[in-house]
Amino acid sequence: MKILVCISNVPDTTSKINFTDGDTKFDTNGVQFVINPNDEFGLTRAMWFKEKQGATVHIATVGEATVEPTMRKALAIGADEGIRVNVAPTDGYFVAEQLAAVVKNGEYDLVIAGRESIDYNGGMVPGILATMLGMNFVNTCISLEIEGDTATAIREIDGGKETVKTALPLVIGGQKGLVEESDLKIPNMRGIMMARKKALNVVEPVDATKATQDVSFDKPAAKGQVKLVDSVDELVDLLHNEAKVI
């Protein structure tokens, strides 16, 4: 089985976010970038298929050279080979078009993507990718087993879970539950050294549609002042007379 894991290079959630050029561009200065958490759950599941079923695991990222440290971490976790599409990701549709070209060239049986990235939270790439490729698709996937050409997946739905069976080739939008947080792998020294020798292939982008353009960014409104109270009676009085919520 040949697996492609789609990796997004996203800011760490503890990073301080700023914008430049009149709030039209994201300021990357001082920002620590990491593997998108939903993608990391998928990568860890792919490692399970590699260890238990002898699968070959490749990773793919759409981005410029600055994303390579994140890709090397994924290789250190255990992926066999990396593919970087040499273009800045502009929107979900554009990214899906680039990844579709990678999948077609690699003839993958299983494509694992995170259901959404934690930067823009668009949640569109896996579904668009599956449509472009004409492959089966399971979103919000929290469990995946494969036997032969048949995949059994569990996905979250409103009010519960749904178990589905489908044939390969398959695209999934994975998330927490695909593996547990305790199962996530931390690269060890041997993995880091081996990652330096693994192929990280750079390919040029295909002609694709840039469907959207960032016009401007706005930060959330600043939090209001906090008022400390010394007694329950004072709290009740403020909630009733000032906040008017009771």
pLDDT tens, position by position, 72-120: 999 999 999 999 999 999 899 999 999 999 999 999 999 999 999 999 8
- Helix (H, G, I), strand (E, B), or coil: what is residue 210? coil
Query: Beta 33-35 vs 200-203: how paired, if at all?
Result: unpaired
Q: What is the mean pLDDT of residues 197-220?
A: 91
Instruction: Answer yes or no: are the C-beta atoms of 169 and 110 closer than 8 Å.
Output: yes
Query: Peptide bond preceding 169: is omega within 30 degrees of 0, i.e. cis?
Result: yes
Check residues 46 and 209 and name the one with the higher pLDDT. 46
Band of pLDDT at residue 50, cut at 50, 70 and 90: very high
Q: Where are the domains of the chain?
A: 2-220
Per DSSP, 79 falls in state -
Phi-psi region of 21 (alpha: psi -120 to 50; beta: other; left: phi over 0): left
CATH homologous superfamily, domain 2-220: HUPs (3.40.50.620)
222 to each of 121, 148, 243, how far by Cα in Å? Answer: 21, 54, 19
pTM: 0.88
Please tell me the predicted confidence (pLDDT) of residue 108.
97
Per DSSP, 168 falls in state S
